[in-house]
Amino acid sequence: MRDTPAQKRRVIIAIPAYDCTAHLETIGAIIVAGQELQKAGIEWGLIYQGGSSIISTARNALVHTFLSLPEATDLVFIDSDISFKAEELLKLIAWGAHQDIVAGAYRIKQDELKYSVHPILGGKNDDEMTFDQSRLLVEAEGVATGFLLIKRHVFETMQPDMLTYNDRELGKVSAFFHFDIDEKEGKYVGEDIYFCKKAKKAGFKIWLDPSMWLSHVGLKHFSGRLADSFHAIEKDEDEKIKEIA
């Protein structure tokens, strides 16, 4: 869904941080991006949720706060251990003028090259993937929520069907993010995939920009760009074909 000309965007950046800290690179990139947003006439704000050891409740609290701001149009989740350049955040916010849910993929914290995508629809070859009209975004079944934009009307559409619980400080809170068990497949479902499944059930598509360069910061920086791994997969497949031949 595109924003109407009369609708002024107000972007809210939401950071869940158990220990109330975030990497300086992350904060610096947000400040630089914020300056560019102001130049473009886009209002923005920052909210954070600390002290919650359960990530799903932290995300739900942030959504609750976001929805309490009547002029807020876009929620951008940025996890405190995700590092990026300002242009990546600006790119994510720009996509929000055209799509309802858009994410950047970052590496899982391990030496093996794996990304937080579950999975890309159609496989990993350009001829098989499902692209948007720009052919720059790829559709996915689900994405991790550490670098994710969600439009306000997504939450408003989903809210009537969400479970709720009572929070001591916030009162009644909708569980957009929730841990679950897939009884059919016998798999544990994290809060990010739970949200994506519910969003897709409500009729929304999950889009991914594979061109973003993001770092997942742990004992070291696990950096990368998902699009690069597409080429690596194609090379591996070519090598396997040569071996068979």
Strands 213-217 and 221-225: antiparallel
- Nearest-10 Cα torsion for 120, 80, 73, 195: 40
3-state secondary structure of 65: helix
pLDDT score at 244 = 38
**Burial class of residue 219 in the structure, from the number of CB atoms within 10 Å of its CB (0-12 exposed, 13-18 middle, 19+ buried):** exposed
Nearest to 137 by CA among 104, 113, 107: 104
Residue 193 and residue 218: Cα distance in Å, rounded? Answer: 22
Tens-binned pLDDT, residue by residue, of the chain (245 aa): 454 444 689 999 999 987 888 888 888 899 999 999 999 889 999 999 988 788 999 999 999 999 999 999 999 999 988 888 899 999 999 999 999 999 999 888 777 878 877 767 666 555 578 888 888 999 999 999 999 999 999 999 999 999 999 999 999 999 999 999 888 888 888 899 999 999 999 999 999 999 999 988 876 677 888 888 776 544 444 443 334 33
pLDDT score at 121 = 66
In 51-122, DSSP assigns E strands to: 74-78, 82-84, 101-104
Residue 107 and residue 21: Cα distance in Å, rounded? Answer: 21
Instruction: Give the rounded distance of the alpha carbon of 210 from its chain centre.
Output: 12
- The pTM score is 0.85
Which H/E stretch holds residue 44?
strand 43-50
Asked if residue 20 lies in contact with residue 51, where contact means CB atoms within 8 angstroms, the answer is yes
Asked if residue 212 lies in contact with residue 162, where contact means CB atoms within 8 angstroms, the answer is no
Asked if residue 66 lies in contact with residue 181, where contact means CB atoms within 8 angstroms, the answer is no
CA count, 13 A, side-chain hemisphere, 6: 0
pLDDT score at 238 = 46
Query: Where does 10-244 sit in CATH, by number?
Result: 3.90.550.40
How far apart, in Å, are the Cα atoms of 175 and each of 18, 47, 50, 61? 19, 18, 18, 9
Domain residue ranges of the chain, discontinuous segments joined by +: 10-244
Residue 11 phi/psi, 5° resolution? -95, 130
Asked if residue 226 lies in contact with residue 115, where contact means CB atoms within 8 angstroms, the answer is yes
